[in-house]
Amino acid sequence: MQVKLLHDLVEEMAGLNTGRIVDILFGKKDVNEFLIAKKMELTINQVRNILYKLSADGLVSFIRKKDKRKGWYIYYWTLKTEKCLVKLEQALIKKIENLNGVLGSRETRRFYVCKPCGIEVGEEKALEHGFSCEECAEVYELSDNSGPIRDTKAKVTRTEKELELIRGELETIREKDRKKRVRSDKKSEKEDAAKKVILKAARATARKNVAIVKAKAEGKKKKEIVKKKVVKKKVVKKKVVKKKVVKKKVVKKKVVKKKVVKKKVVKKKTSFASRLKKKLSRKK
């Protein structure tokens, strides 16, 4: 990993001497901000300022937890390596573009220099001032572009190498993520299959229950019809008998409920009749 490049990136984003934070965060997860402050020998607010700047660009992320004893929140920080690398990639592309711009102008244009002042100007500006220095009036000399061309070319080559490294690392990270995703996809596929089996069973049970409820409801209707009949018969009987019959009927209902409707009706009628007979005979 190009930790040095991450250093530079962080310093560019958050200021001088902030790059050290990369060494503390790199390869770790959820680092306590007080630990960062201690290692960097900075105050907690200085550390937070750095981290807020970096988080504005998504280079770090945080979670917060409430400190149970002190009652305030502590932030835990994680370096977002991929985001950093993408940012670096963009920065390096831009840098190469700029260098190529410089190279192009060094290769095609003239530059003039005032040696005593060490100031270099482009041809247009030199012309504007009659080829003499704006500051000291010394006559400009034509710059030798070969040095800057050589330097710029070297810089372009170096930066292109860095870009290649960063892209390689990005590719590695993305490949890892892809594999991770495939694994979790397979896992969730398995889980989905298991869920389907459970759901199927649950649906079958639900259908059975619905059927039972329906059967019960139908049973109730028939019972109600039976009840009406019973009431009519009851009216003929003495009041004392009626009460007893009602009580027994309630008990019977509970037991009979679960049984098949047809049988129940038949049973009820016969049992009721026999009960009635018994009762009447007892009464007599």
Residues that bind Zn ion (CB under 5 A): 114, 117, 133, 135-136, 138
Q: How far is the CB of 148 from Zn ion (least distance, A)?
A: 19
- Of 58 and 116, the one with the shorter C-beta distance to Zn ion is 116
Q: How far is the CB of 117 from Zn ion (least distance, A)?
A: 3
Rounded to a whole number of angstroms, the minimum distance from the CB of residue 127 to Zn ion is: 16
* Three-class DSSP labels, 223-241: HHHHHHHHHHHHHHCCHHH
Residues near 200 by beta carbon (within 8 Å), at least 6 away in sequence: none
Residue 139 or 280: the one with the smaller Cβ distance to Zn ion is 139
- Please, where are the H alpha helices in 57-134? 81-108, 123-128
In the chain the beta strands, taken as DSSP E runs, fall at: 31-32, 60-66, 73-79, 111-114, 119-122, 141-142
Q: Quickly count: other Cβ atoms within 10 Å of residue 161's Cβ.
A: 11
Smallest distance, Zn ion to C-beta of residue 147, A: 20
Smallest distance from Zn ion to CB 106, Å: 21
For Zn ion, which is the closer residue by CB, 27 or 130?
A: 130
- 154 by Cβ neighbours in 10 Å (0-12 / 13-18 / 19+) ranks as exposed
Task: Give me the helix-helix angle, 146-236 and 261-283, nearest 10°.
Answer: 30
Nearer to Zn ion, 136 or 240 (CB): 136
**Comparison of 128 and 224: residue with beta carbon closer to Zn ion:** 128
119 Cβ contact list (under 8 Å, min separation 6): 113, 133, 134, 135
- Nearer to Zn ion by Cβ, of 117 and 255: the residue is 117
Pairing between β-strand 111-114 and β-strand 60-66 as defined by DSSP bridges: unpaired
Exposure on the CB side of residue 144, measured as CA atoms within 13 A: 5
Q: Closer CB to Zn ion, residue 115 or residue 208?
A: 115
3-state secondary structure of 43: coil
* DSSP result, 157-183: HHHHHHHHHHHHHHHHHHHHHHHHHHH
Q: Rounded to whole angstroms, how far apart are CA atoms 158 and 270?
A: 104
Smallest distance, Å, CB 55 to Zn ion? 47
For Zn ion, give the closer residue by CB, 63 or 117.
Answer: 117
Helix (H, G, I), strand (E, B) or coil at 260: coil
Closest approach, Cβ 134 to Zn ion, in A, equals 7
Residue whose beta carbon is closest to Zn ion = 133
Least separation in angstroms between CB 146 and Zn ion:
23
